[in-house]
Chain A
Amino acid sequence: MSSLKEFTKGIIKENPTLVMLLGTCPTLAMTTQAINGLGMGIATTFVLLGSCVVISLLKRLIPDQVRLPAYIVIIAGFVTLVSFLLQVYVPDLYSTLGVFLSLITVNCIILGRAEAFASKNSVGRSALDALGMGVGFTLALVLMGSIREILGFGTWFGVDLTFGVLEPIGLFSMPAGGFMVFGFLVAVVNRLSHYQISKKKMGCENCPGRAGCGGHCGTVSKTEGEGK
């Protein structure tokens, strides 16, 4: 796979939120407004990039038995770093993100990419993969935040679009509206990304997570047994 593909696959084809359905909690919670989605996306991208590069660098040093705690410590380190920086330089965003900032630590996109990609690939490829996934996540969040903000508040990035004529649909700023927008977006993106695949027989080759598991997701325990 060329390096460009490594980067672009995260944007639509393997979009972490809308195709792989990872990181749904921050997606639903932080997309009441486009700006919050953007902030959450950028913070997550930074953590993703930093931890994937470090994990890829250390992949030979980290023993297999403790790889998950080691990854989580590295990820948590980057999350704390981001929260310090936001607290000092962008306090407004810090207070909006609130508890979801610390919860980036357990965001499965990051651990997922670390485990599935960064721990098996070179630093450069891991960085591109992380950046692509981060951009895909950010775009998904901004898109969803824009839809919910326009429908729910009548504004976009804080700019009033209703001119006092239309009453916004408050439902979209609440959790129920979030689930609705999320469902529609997943449907649209799935249509865009695997329309042709869905006509073929759905199998391991066509699974969007294939690049991550390398086609071994169903046979992990078997291969491990053979190794011993």
Chain B
Amino acid sequence: MRKSWDLIRPTFVLVIICLVISAALALTYNLAGVADLANAGYSAEQLAEFSASALPEADELQKVDVSVEDEDFHSVYKAANGAGMAIVVVTKGYNSDGMTVMYGFNPDGVMQGIYVIAQEETPGIGDKVTTDTEYLSRFAGQSADSFQVDTVAGATKTSTGLINGAKRAFELFEQLKGEVLG
């Protein structure tokens, strides 16, 4: 009897430890509300920060749930005061994980501005472009037919990524405008 207990004891103790830890984590998970967080998306403050650059005339961005089968598409928002809509696109820069960029449009499809939400470009080289307000402001006022923004020497791949993202955003705007603004 003594011998068999010696054999079982290690397993038994380990199982008990695992059970206790799992129970404690399940409790924390529910108390802290981690599950709600995963579905919440961007907070109101974050959206206000994004829209200040991407869609300056909007008072408040509201998420619109659409079903788009496109791996570049992230999410779409509409301005509560009818100033237009903002499309978030994932576009490939130098880092193949891509940049998450918000493009703002007025109801006529003219780009109002862009905001780089997340990027992992080379620090000090490519990532300069993503915060360069002078360069980013060149996207404002562009429309789908006459889109013309130059790349930046020294950050070619990053700026090309922003430009390709803008082209995708124009296409997505055409596709979504009826559903989101209509």
Contact = CB atoms under 8 A, between A and B. Distances in A.
Contact of B37 (A70, A88, A170): A88
Contact of A70 (B17, B29, B34, B125): B17
A144 B80 CA distance: 46
Contact of A32 (B21, B33, B122, B123): B123
A77 interface: yes
A174 B34 contact: no
B40 to A, nearest CB: 10
A167 B60 CA distance: 38
B25 A80 contact: yes
B2 to A, nearest CB: 14
Interface residues of A, number: 26
Contact of A65 (B10, B34, B37, B124): B10
Interface in A64-84: 65-66, 69-70, 73-74, 76-77, 80-81, 84
A74 B25 CA distance: 11
B89 to A, nearest CB: 19
Contact of A62 (B13, B24, B25, B124): B13
A81 B25 CA distance: 6
Contacts of A62: 13, 17
A147 to B, nearest CB: 15
Interface in B1-46: 9-11, 13-14, 17-18, 21, 24-25, 28-29, 32-34, 37
Contact of B13 (A63, A152, A168): A63
A84 B124 contact: no
A58 B20 CA distance: 13
> Chain B interface: which size bin?
20 to 34
Contact of B125 (A63, A153, A170): A170
A85 interface: yes
B123 A70 contact: no
A148 to B, nearest CB: 10
A74 to B, nearest CB: 7
A87 interface: yes
A163 B9 CA distance: 65
Given A152-B123, A168-B124, A66 B25 contact: no
A56 interface: no
A226 to B, nearest CB: 22
Contacts of A65: 10
Rank and list the top 8 A-B pairs by shortest CB-CB distance, nearest first.
A170-B124, A77-B21, A63-B10, A66-B10, A173-B123, A65-B10, A88-B32, A66-B14
Interface of A: 32, 58, 61-63, 65-66, 69-70, 73-74, 76-77, 80-81, 84-85, 87-88, 91, 152-153, 168, 170, 173-174
Interface of B: 9-11, 13-14, 17-18, 21, 24-25, 28-29, 32-34, 37, 122-125
